């Protein structure tokens, strides 16, 4: 029985720090979960570099107690410290802030070691409750942490190593992929985009250089490339041709579906749609996110970095808010802090976020992002370049149209269901946003197209991936 090993070294580092995936991490988690459901958790496995020993390890997906869709279980199984599981007493408020969680855990440990009962009493707890909870958590960690195997000893010719991860950041991982190829494994590599090569001005200098050198090096060990869009495939084909590689490329478009939520958040969602249990869903939201629903807003999701074109979007919104004849919604930006975004940050600091017209939600949880999508008027994605455009697809999954850049892969995602703009033109961005703001009938017509469309789900993506792996053998 041939195995499918999924490279997750970079993902392993990510889940050790964050509970909520974004971008590439979301793609990796959802695809592994879906493929494991199709081929079986005993045939689908996780492969990763043990940064301590320098060895390449693997675990069957079937041995992850909560499955790869549960980030807390995955982190625990891969050697995490458990900060993302059930929080210890008095630490629940820090569950989404790993550094703060560890800091305050250390404070509790210090006070417990010195018998300072008052410290715990002030927090409606006790030293005995703290010690009992720690012992229980340690027991869970031991029970939920399977023993990784040595990939070099267990992999066989005919097995497949699928690289979905952002593996270009570490040369040691690249060397492991080369060794896997030499051992007879078929290596399939998903290229998310070639933005660092084609638009190096949008990335830190060293990152663009490392990405180009990595992609060049992959030609020595990659049997088949996978591209997440026709646009990415065209960019990749041009790059490979320029370097004399005839390696095949399979196009596996990504998804047009809403977020895949953890069980608890998903269970709440139907109650919200039916107009019930609003207090319950409120418990999963920060005060700042919950309060955004008090007035209409447009939503832009993604890392806060230069490629997302946020400075130009803010300029367009500044023009819109100056038109007193328009009932302009607030603009909400949701994502983690990125790079080379100083122009936007300086504009926000100088104008007080355009006098409060722009709100930024840093690192939203899955429940918060779900809430933001559901309650938005429309979404805005005016990136200068993308490999696919996951937030565009997620927006469609929630039945929301949007303003979308008409370049690179983004029209493949949006089809005829969104309003397009030229991301290099502030006037074009303004005009597209103005139309969705000023013409509710047009917005509703686009939403009806979305409702009639057969949108692409993660299961479709997984089927294509399994098919590509089958063709490779």
Alpha carbon 291 to its chain centroid, in Å, reads 24
CA–CA dist 421, 433 (Å, integer): 9
Q: Please state whether 79 falls in left (phi above 0), alpha (psi between -120 and 50) or beta.
A: left
Q: Name the nearest CA neighbour of 367 among 256, 262, 271, 296.
A: 262
Among left, alpha and beta (phi > 0; psi -120 to 50; other), residue 354 is left
pLDDT digits (tens, 9 = 90+) for 236-267: 999 999 999 999 999 999 999 999 876 544 54
pLDDT at 264: 47
What pLDDT does 318 receive?
98
Distances (CA, A) of 392 to 363, 397, 455: 18, 9, 12
DSSP 165: S
Burial category of 322 from C-beta neighbours within 10 Å (exposed 0-12, middle 13-18, buried 19 and up):
exposed
Q: How far does CA 192 lie from the centroid of its chain?
A: 12
Task: Report the candidate in 411, 370, 410 with the shortest Cα–Cα distance to residue 394.
Answer: 370
Residues contacting residue 88 through CB under 8 Å, at least 6 positions apart: 105, 108, 130, 133, 134, 137
Closest CA to 166 of 233, 257, 228, 230: 228
Could you please report the per-residue DSSP string of 215-261? HHHHTTT-SEEEESSHHHHHHHHHHHHHTT----EEE----------
Q: Where in the chain is the domain with CATH 3.40.50.2000?
A: 4-79+147-255+462-472, 263-455
The one-digit pLDDT tens for each residue of the chain (473 residues) are: 799 999 999 888 887 766 677 788 899 999 999 999 999 999 999 999 887 788 899 999 999 887 787 777 777 777 754 444 456 777 766 755 667 878 888 998 999 888 887 887 777 677 777 787 777 666 655 555 788 889 989 999 999 999 998 778 788 889 999 999 999 999 999 999 999 999 999 999 999 999 999 999 999 999 999 999 999 999 999 999 999 999 999 999 999 999 987 654 454 454 455 555 666 666 678 888 999 999 999 999 999 999 999 999 999 999 999 999 999 999 999 998 999 999 999 999 999 999 999 999 998 888 899 999 999 999 999 999 999 999 999 999 999 999 999 999 999 999 999 999 999 999 999 999 999 999 999 999 999 999 999 999 999 999 999 999 887 65
Q: Are strands 56-60 and 149-150 parallel, antiparallel or unpaired?
A: antiparallel
Reading the block at residue 324, the tokens are 């007193």
Burial 350-376 (b: 16+ CB within 10 A, else e): eeebbeebbbbbebbbbbbbbbbbbbb
Element (DSSP H or E) covering residue 117: helix 117-121
CATH for the stretch 263-455: 3.40.50.2000
- The confidence score (pLDDT) of residue 1 equals 72
In words, the CATH class of domain 4-79+147-255+462-472 is alpha beta
Q: Are 472 and 186 in contact (CB under 8 A)?
A: yes
d(CA 117, CA 122): 9
Q: Which two tokens stand for residue 354?
A: 């355009």
Sheet holding 186-191, edge to edge: 149-150, 56-60, 44-49, 4-7, 160-163, 186-191, 224-227, 249-251
E strand or H helix that includes residue 73:
helix 71-77
**Among the listed residues 318, 346, 342, the one whose alpha carbon sits nearest the alpha carbon of residue 330:** 318
pLDDT, position 38: 94
* The pLDDT of residue 218: 95
Which pLDDT belongs to residue 449?
98
Distinct helix (H) and strand (E) counts, the chain: 22, 14
Report the pLDDT value the prediction gives residue 122, as an integer from 0 to 100: 77
> What pTM value is reported for the model?
0.85
Contact 223, 157 (CB under 8 A): no
- Of 59, 53, 45, 62, whose CA–CA distance to 4 is shortest? 45
Task: Reduce the DSSP state of residue 46 to 3 states and report it.
Answer: strand
How far apart are the C-alpha atoms of 76 and 81, rounded to whole Å?
7
pLDDT 10s digits, 353-366:
999 999 999 988 88
């Amino acid at each position: 029985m041939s195995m499918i090993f999924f490279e997750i070294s970079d993902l392993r580092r990510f889940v050790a720090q964050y509970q909520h995936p974004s971008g590439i991490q979301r793609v990796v988690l959802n695809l592994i979960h879906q493929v494991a459901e199709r081929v079986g958790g005993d045939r689908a496995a996780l492969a990763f570099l043990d940064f301590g020993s320098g060895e390449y390890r693997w675990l069957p997906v079937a041995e992850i107690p909560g499955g790869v869709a549960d980030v807390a279980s995955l982190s625990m199984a891969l050697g995490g410290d458990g900060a993302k599981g059930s929080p210890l007493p008095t630490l629940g408020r820090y569950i989404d802030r790993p550094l703060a969680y560890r800091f305050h855990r250390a404070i509790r440990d210090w006070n417990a070691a010195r018998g300072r009962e008052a410290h715990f009493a002030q927090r409606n707890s006790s030293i005995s409750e703290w010690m009992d909870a720690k012992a229980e958590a340690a027991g869970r960690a031991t029970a939920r942490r399977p023993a990784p195997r040595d990939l070099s000893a267990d992999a066989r010719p005919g097995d497949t190593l699928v690289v979905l991860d952002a593996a270009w950041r570490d040369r040691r991982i690249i060397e492991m992929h080369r060794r896997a190829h030499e051992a007879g494994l078929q290596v399939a590599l998903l290229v998310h985009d070639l933005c660092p090569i084609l638009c190096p001005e949008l990335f830190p200098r060293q990152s663009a250089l490392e990405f180009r050198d990595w992609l060049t090096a992959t030609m020595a060990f990659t049997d088949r490339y996978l591209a997440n869009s026709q646009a990415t495939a065209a960019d990749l084909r041009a790059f490979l041709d320029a370097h004399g590689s005839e390696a095949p490329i399979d196009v596996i478009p990504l998804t047009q579906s809403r977020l895949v939520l953890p069980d608890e958040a998903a269970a709440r969602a139907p109650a919200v749609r039916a107009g019930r249990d609003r207090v319950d869903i409120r418990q999963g939201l920060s005060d700042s996110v919950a309060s955004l629903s008090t007035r209409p807003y447009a939503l832009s999701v993604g890392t806060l970095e230069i490629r997302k074109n946020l400075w130009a979007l803010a300029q367009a919104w500044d023009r819109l808010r100056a038109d007193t004849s328009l009932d302009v919604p607030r603009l909400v930006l949701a994502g983690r802090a990125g790079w080379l975004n100083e122009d936007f940050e300086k504009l926000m600091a100088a104008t007080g976020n355009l006098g409060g017209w722009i709100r930024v939600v840093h690192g939203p949880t899955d429940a918060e992002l779900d809430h933001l999508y559901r309650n938005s008027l429309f979404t805005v994605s005016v990136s200068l370049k993308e490999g696919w455009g996951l937030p565009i697809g997620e927006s469609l999954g929630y039945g929301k149209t949007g303003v979308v850049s008409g370049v690179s892969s983004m029209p493949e995602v949006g089809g005829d269901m969104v309003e397009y703009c030229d991301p290099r033109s502030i006037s074009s961005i303004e005009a597209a946003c103005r139309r969705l703001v000023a013409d509710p009938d047009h917005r509703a017509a686009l939403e009806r197209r979305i409702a009639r469309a057969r949108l692409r789900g993660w299961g479709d993506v997984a089927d294509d991936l399994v098919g590509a792996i089958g063709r490779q053998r």
